[in-house]
C-alpha cells in the first residue's frame, strides 16, 4: 500500500532529462503509483505510468524544477492526469489542509485508510480527504484491486485454519476414531470447494457477451 519514497537513498542522474529517468523512478517508487498504489503489473506495465512532477512544472514558479530529480516521482497515468497542475497550497506535515505533502518526508499511509470489507479508501485527515476526492481514489479498478487483496488474505487465513483442523483430525483418525475419518474427508471436499471458488476470480469465462446470453437464457 502507501509508502514514503526514500529519496535520500537515490543517486540523482547527471545526464539526460526527466523522461529518461522513468525506470529509475520506478525502482525508487516500488513499481507502484505514488498516489493510488496500483502496481505496474496490475496496470499494464511501465508504459502506463508517468513521471510525476510533484511541484507541477506547469506552474511558473516551479517550471525550473522540470528536470530536478528531487521533484520527480512515479505515478499511474490516471492519477497523474487527475492531479495535473493542482497545487492548492504549499505543503506542511500537519495534514490539516488541502495540499500535497512531500512524499519523501510524509508516509502517505498517514493520509489514507482502507475499509477491510468494502475496499473503499477514506481520508484520515483533511489532507487525505482532499487528495482522495481530487485523485478519485475510489475509482472502480482500485476498489477491485483492494477487494482482491482482501479476498486473498482471507483465503490464506481460511486455508491455514483448515490445515490445522486436518492435523487434529488426522491424529484422531490414526488412533482409530472413525468419525474423525469421515470429518477429514468432508474437510477435504470443503477445501477443494474453497479453492475452486477463490480461483474463479481469475476466470474469463464467459469470454464475450454472446456466451453470457447463452448462460443466462
Q: Which of 24, 79, 111, 137 binds Zn ion (CB under 5 A)?
A: 79
For Zn ion, the closer CB: 18 or 49: 49
Q: Which of 35, 49, 82, 87 binds Zn ion (CB under 5 A)?
A: 35
Quick one: which segment of 6-14, 25-33, 116-124, 171-179 binds Zn ion (CB under 5 A)? 25-33
Q: How far is the CB of 153 from Zn ion (least distance, A)?
A: 22
Q: Which of 33, 65, 121, 137 binds Zn ion (CB under 5 A)?
A: 33
Give helix 178-199 / helix 140-174 axis angle, nearest 10°.
160
Q: How far is the CB of 39 from Zn ion (least distance, A)?
A: 10
Q: How far is the CB of 210 from Zn ion (least distance, A)?
A: 34
Q: How open is the CA angle 22-40-128, to the nearest 5 degrees?
A: 90
Q: Which of 5, 25, 36, 65 binds Zn ion (CB under 5 A)?
A: 36
**Size of the residue set binding Zn ion (CB under 5 A):** 5
Residues within the interface to Zn ion (CB under 5 A)? 33, 35-36, 76, 79
Amino acid at each position: 500500500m502507501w509508502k514514503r519514497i526514500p529519496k535520500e537513498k537515490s543517486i540523482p542522474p547527471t545526464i539526460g532529462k526527466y523522461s529518461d529517468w522513468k525506470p529509475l523512478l520506478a525502482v525508487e517508487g516500488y513499481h507502484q503509483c505514488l498516489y493510488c498504489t496500483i502496481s505496474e503489473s496490475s496496470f499494464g506495465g511501465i508504459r502506463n505510468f508517468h513521471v510525476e512532477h510533484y511541484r507541477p512544472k506547469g506552474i511558473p514558479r516551479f517550471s525550473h524544477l522540470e528536470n530536478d530529480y528531487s521533484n520527480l516521482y512515479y505515478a499511474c497515468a490516471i492519477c497523474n492526469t487527475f492531479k495535473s497542475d493542482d497545487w492548492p497550497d504549499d505543503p506542511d506535515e500537519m495534514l490539516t489542509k488541502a495540499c500535497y505533502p512531500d512524499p519523501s518526508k510524509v508516509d502517505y499511509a498517514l493520509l489514507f485508510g482502507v475499509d477491510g470489507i468494502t475496499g473503499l479508501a477514506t481520508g484520515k485527515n483533511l489532507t487525505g480527504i482532499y487528495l482522495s476526492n481530487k485523485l478519485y481514489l475510489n475509482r472502480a479498478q482500485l476498489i477491485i484491486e483492494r477487494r482482491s487483496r482482501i479476498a486473498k488474505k482471507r483465503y490464506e487465513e481460511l486455508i491455514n485454519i483448515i490445515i490445522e483442523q486436518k492435523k487434529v483430525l488426522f491424529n484422531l483418525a490414526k488412533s482409530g476414531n472413525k468419525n474423525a475419518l469421515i470429518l477429514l474427508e468432508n474437510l477435504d471436499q470443503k477445501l477443494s470447494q474453497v479453492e475452486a471458488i477463490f480461483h474463479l476470480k481469475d476466470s474469463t469465462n464467459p469470454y464475450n457477451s454472446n456466451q453470457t446470453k447463452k448462460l443466462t437464457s
